[in-house]
Every structure is written in structure tokens, then in C-alpha cells.
Chain A
Amino acid sequence: SYEVSQPVSVSVALGQTATITCEGDNIGKKHVHWYQQKPGQAPVLLIYRDSARPSGIPARFSGSNSGSTATLTISTAQGGDEADFYCQVWTSGTVLFGGGTKLTVL
């Protein structure tokens, strides 16, 4: 069965750029979506179809997808960006979430 994997944690200095990866076999052939979840809150859609941003999501958040890795990039990281981030794909009648990545802004 298909699997997607994310790093458990990523740290970034305030104002710098963070990258969070989502790996899967030929994931570049699938659409990857990203969610941000802050403690005690519901997830929020951050990026859909690899690189599209819903209205209201800052341009600091961007996505890409190629080969075996999809990437979420957070530019000019802010303290308010600290959260759990999940990638998600749809494959063979199943929705799969990555295990989640905890972003810490130092």
C-alpha cells in the first residue's frame, strides 16, 4: 500500500525559510495538499494541488512536487507559524495523511 512520510520535526530561525518534505513513491505524479494545525484547533488548508493557495493564505507559504518529494516552503518564518503541518494525497480510493511535522520557530 502507498505511504507518505514526513520529518517529525523541523526548526527554523525567526525570519528564515523553513522547508517541510513529504516523501512517497512517485509522489510527483499525485496531487499533494498541505494543512496547518495549531494546538487545540482544527486543521486549515494551506496548499492544494501541489502549489495552489486558498484565499487568505499568505504568499509566504508555497508548495512544490516532483519525483519522490513534495515540499512545503515557509518564507520569513514568524512565531505564529509554529504548528503541526500535514501533507495529504488521494490514491486508489484512499486519503492518506503524512504523520505530521512539528515546526518550531527559534
Chain B
Amino acid sequence: EVRLVESGGGLVRPGASLRLSCAASGFIFSDYTMNWVRQAPGKGLEWVASISSRSDYIYYGDSVRGRFTISRDNAKNSLSLQMHSLRADDTGVYYCARDGGMAAYYFDLWGLGDLLTVSS
């Protein structure tokens, strides 16, 4: 079965660090650009970061650049998001999403999401 499963979310204090992970299965992970997309409670979708299949192209959204780092381990079929200096407005559900193919920058496969809450 083709799937993405996020993990690592939870409740953290402002200023803390946290690492999210995404486990991929059912497809050739190393062939695809991968992404993180988040959604604040009751709000719309916000793209967070993208990483190309061989990690040679990495992009970040303005609100996380300099604080978050996206990475991948193709040998382990795993995507990660290292987050530092977390703020209340980083609260939301974080989705791992697969690129549609050939770095087309649309998302054809999504995980169920993982909730991060940043609160004192």
C-alpha cells in the first residue's frame, strides 16, 4: 500500500525544538521530491518546505526559513523536518506530501498529518 505516516508531533513550549518524521512505503521514495505542508487550526494550507529526490534542491516558505530544516534519508525511506525556535503560530497539523513526479510541485499523496502544539 502506498502511504505516508508522520510522527513526532506533540506539545512543546515556545522556543523549543522538535523533529518531525515521515515514513514512506509502497513506492520508490528516492524517485520523488517530498514536501511538508501545515495547517493551523481552522485555517488554510501553508506550504513549509520541499526537498528534491537527491536533496540537491531545497526550498522553504518565508515563515520558517532559517528556523526549520528539511532532510531525507533515501536508504530509510524517511523524510524529516527539524524545527527550532518554535512559536505559537507554528501550531497546526503537519502533513508530509509527495510530489506528483518530476518535481512538478503538486502533491499527489498525503499523510494523515501530525499535530504540533506550541504553547506555554
Say if the beta carbon of A99 comes within 8 Å of chain B. yes
Contact between B50 and A95, CB atoms less than 8 A apart: yes
Contact between B47 and A94, CB atoms less than 8 A apart: yes
Docked CA distance A54–B45 (Å): 20
Interface segment among B74-82, B83-91, B98-106: the answer is: B98-106
Say if the beta carbon of B35 comes within 8 Å of chain A. yes
Contact between B108 and A45, CB atoms less than 8 A apart: yes
Contact with A along B87-120 (1 / 0, CB 8 A): 0000000010000100011111011110000000
Docked CA distance A43–B113 (Å): 10
Contact between B100 and A45, CB atoms less than 8 A apart: yes
What residues of chain A lie closer than 8 Å to B26, measured between beta carbons? none
Interchain residue pairs with CB less than 8 A apart (7): A33-B106, A37-B45, A48-B100, A94-B61, A95-B105, A97-B46, A99-B44
Contact with B along A86-106 (1 / 0, CB 8 A): 101010011111111000000
Contact between A45 and B106, CB atoms less than 8 A apart: yes
Q: Sorted from nearest, which 6 A-B pairs have the closest CB atoms? A: A90-B105, A95-B47, A33-B106, A100-B44, A42-B110, A97-B45
Within the complex, the shortest CB–CB distance from B101 to chain A, in Å, comes to 10
What is the size category of the interface that chain B forms with chain A?
20 to 34
Give residues in B with beta carbon < 8 Å to A.
Answer: 35, 37, 44-47, 50, 59, 61-62, 95, 100, 104-108, 110-113
What residues of chain B lie closer than 8 Å to A37, measured between beta carbons? 45
Contact between A49 and B47, CB atoms less than 8 A apart: no
Contact between A54 and B61, CB atoms less than 8 A apart: no
Give residues in A with beta carbon < 8 Å to B.
Answer: 31, 33, 35, 37, 42-45, 48-49, 54, 84, 86, 88, 90, 93-100
Question: Given A96-B47, A100-B44 in contact, is the A44-B110 Cβ separation under 8 Å?
Answer: yes
Docked CA distance A68–B100 (Å): 24
Known A-B contacts: A44-B110, A45-B106, A48-B104. Give 17 more (CB < 8 A): A33-B107, A35-B107, A42-B95, A42-B110, A43-B37, A43-B110, A45-B100, A45-B108, A48-B106, A54-B108, A84-B44, A88-B45, A88-B106, A94-B62, A95-B35, A95-B61, A97-B46
